[in-house]
């Protein structure tokens, strides 16, 4: 097999494995005792780790339509997990923050997801985990590709 063919085959394998990880995370979230969907979990984590963020910030970062984020945020506010605040400067009106209940559910959800990762890596050496973490960080640090159709 030529190098280009092997590279393409390996890239397909990486993609397939990432798809499995994603699918399992979504399914696991549905089964967990924390009543958060994968999207809700992701939004709570973003809001909690990005103080003063607004819906437009979330839409830009996640590359989603503002109306999609707005609908999700409406659900989160209705559930009492997120609230809007008025920032100190005029440009930060409608900033988001987690409520105490939102913080508790986020922590429970993160703990459950992290527990699965910990379990899966139980038999791995410290060096293997460090190498995997470095490879994932390098992958995620790559430039965003424009949408292709």
Model confidence band, residue 34 (pLDDT cutoffs 50, 70, 90): low
Q: For residue 99, is it within any domain? A: yes
Q: For residue 6, is it within any domain? A: no
Q: For residue 16, is it within any domain? A: no
Q: For residue 57, is it within any domain? A: yes
Q: For residue 25, is it within any domain? A: no
Q: For residue 42, is it within any domain? A: yes
Quote the CA–CA distance of 32 and 37 in Å, as a whole number.
9
Q: For residue 98, is it within any domain? A: yes
Give pLDDT tens digits for 49-101: 999 999 999 999 988 899 999 999 999 999 999 999 875 554 446 899 999 99
Half-sphere exposure of 141 (CA within 13 A, CB side): 6
Parallel, antiparallel or unpaired: strands 93-98 and 82-86 = antiparallel
Quote the CA–CA distance of 99 and 80 in Å, as a whole number.
7
Q: How many domains does the chain have?
A: 1
Q: For residue 26, is it within any domain? A: no
- Residue 92 confidence (pLDDT): 47
CATH of the domain at 83: 1.10.10.10
Domain of residue 61: give its range.
32-141
Give pLDDT tens digits for 35-44: 677 788 889 9
């Amino acid at each position: 097999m030529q190098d280009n063919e092997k590279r393409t085959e390996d890239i397909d394998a990486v993609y397939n494995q990432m798809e499995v990880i994603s699918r399992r995370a979504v399914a696991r979230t549905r089964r967990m005792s924390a009543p958060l969907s994968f999207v809700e979990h992701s939004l709570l984590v973003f809001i909690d780790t990005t103080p003063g963020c607004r819906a437009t910030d979330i839409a830009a970062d996640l590359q989603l339509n503002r109306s999609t984020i707005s609908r999700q945020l409406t659900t989160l506010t209705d559930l009492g997990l997120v609230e809007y605040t008025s920032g100190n400067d005029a440009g930060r009106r409608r900033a988001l923050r987690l409520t105490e209940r939102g913080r508790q559910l986020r922590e429970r959800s993160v703990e459950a997801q992290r527990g699965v990762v910990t379990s899966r890596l139980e038999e791995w050496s410290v060096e293997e985990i460090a190498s995997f973490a470095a490879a994932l960080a390098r992958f995620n640090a790559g430039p965003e590709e424009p949408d292709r159709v």
